[in-house]
Amino acid sequence: MRLIERTHYLNTLKSVLRTPDIKIITGIRRSGKSKLLEALRFYIEKNIPNANVIHINFNLVEAEGLMEYHALHDYIMDKHKAGVDNFVMIDEVQMCDGFEHAINSLHASEMFDIYITGSNAFLLSSDLATLFTGRTFKIEVFPFSFSEFCKYYEREDLDAAFLDFASLGGMAGSYVYEETWQKYAYIADVFNTLIVRDIKQRYKIRSDVALDRVADFLMDNISNITSPNGVAKVLESNSNSTDQKTVRKYIEYLTDAFAFYKVRRYDIRGKKYLASGEKYYLADQSFKYALLGTKNMDWGRTFENIVAIELLRRGYEVYAGMLYEKEIDFVALKRNEKLYIQVSDDISSDETLERELSPLMKIRDAYPKLIIARTGHPEYDREGIRIIDIARWLFDNGDMYYA
């Protein structure tokens, strides 16, 4: 498989070298966490004289003897070298029984700069404060962005490349396969493995069908306002009886494993977050087509999913806006920055363009307002609202946005 440098992630890791935090690389399965750790190791060995890198990959047979925390701790302590920078890198750390005890002890010794990756369901964001007594720094890795897709395939025609990206997505492990059906088979296997191996094993779920149905429902309702009660009612009407409490729990499991991202609603006029009715977006749009098929592709929802994940990738907090009972697709916040965004497939007709413009024009503050659509043209302005082609918004100067 061809490798490309994921510059924004690597630069983030470079910026925290030698800090006392425990660096934790998270993200959905097969998003490139292990390759990122390898890239950091290569950078350190090339640029830091006499660096001592202690690298352990629990996917390899030679690490089998370290799958108990005392053994792991003693092995790393034995590898320590005095008078140099000592870096500890552990891949799939959750495979070591009691790993948090070893990591906490190594961190407390102040002898190592520590970097770890782990399977999502076993190294959840919600668990970090409980697992580790020291401060943690989290780097969340997403599937390939559109700009990385173009870089990998060396594509220059953005319009044609975007149509391929919209259906094939950013799961780079699928890129080695020639046929589309082979790519989708790989992507479907990644998702099914995520559910079976991670979620079902961790939470000892006995009803495979119920969890699968909840995942299918969320995939098929991307960008719709969703509630556990609503999902439960739909499943019940289809002879898949599952109560609201179980549905809520399964949705939490799926978001904890980075399969879906929850976007809360935000009342723009009242400047408050709404307590009910969220939207869910897939970590990568290709999962839907790999699992549910491509017969009835809804490009508008696909584009909305792509924009949602790109905003998260760029470090924004993302909300679904509500204004006078009208929806604004996204309110994106980052420090003092705020963006209002509408996403559309085709705004070539005046009627469609006016429908997208209308909610944005009702917003009275001066923050930037954008319509992101497949225009095929350079950016232009209408009533103070920027109208940007989606392929160019995703590609142009992408790295400058990353937090």
| List of E strands, 133-206 | 136-141
279 vs 267: CA distance, rounded Å: 14
Residues 217-231 have a mean pLDDT of 90
**Across all residues in the chain, what is the average pLDDT?**
90
> What pLDDT does 401 receive?
44
Task: For 277-324, write each residue's pLDDT tens digit.
Answer: 799 999 999 999 999 987 777 899 999 999 999 999 999 999 988 787
**pLDDT over 50 (residue 402):** no
73 class by beta-carbon count within 10 Å (0-12 exposed, 13-18 middle, 19+ buried): buried
CA distance 7 to 246: 40
Indicate if the pLDDT at residue 397 is higher than 70.
no
* Neighbour tally for 350: CB within 10 Å: 8
Q: Determine the straight-line distance between the first and last CA of the chain, rounded to whole angstroms.
A: 28
Rg over alpha carbons for the chain, rounded to the nearest Å, is: 22
Distance CA 172, CA 166 (A): 14
What is the pLDDT, as a whole number, of residue 10?
A: 96
| pLDDT higher than threshold 70 for residue 399 | no
Residues of the chain with CATH 3.40.50.300: 7-141
Q: Tokens 């934790």 — which residue?
A: 24
CATH topology of domain 7-141: Rossmann fold (3.40.50)
pLDDT in tens, 151-177: 999 999 999 999 999 999 999 999 999
Q: Which residue has the tokens 């109560």?
A: 243
pLDDT at 131 over 80: yes
Residue 398 DSSP SS3: helix
Which distant-in-sequence residues (6+ apart) come within 8 Å of 51 by Cβ?
44, 45, 84, 85, 87
Beta strand extents in 148-288 (DSSP E only): 260-263, 265-267, 272-273, 279-282
When pLDDT is averaged across residues 368-383 and rounded to a whole number, the result is 94
Backbone angles phi, psi at 341, to 5 degrees: -135, 130
* Angle, CA 172 vertex, CA 209 and CA 395 arms, to 5°: 115
pLDDT value for 149: 97
pLDDT (0 to 100) of residue 124: 62
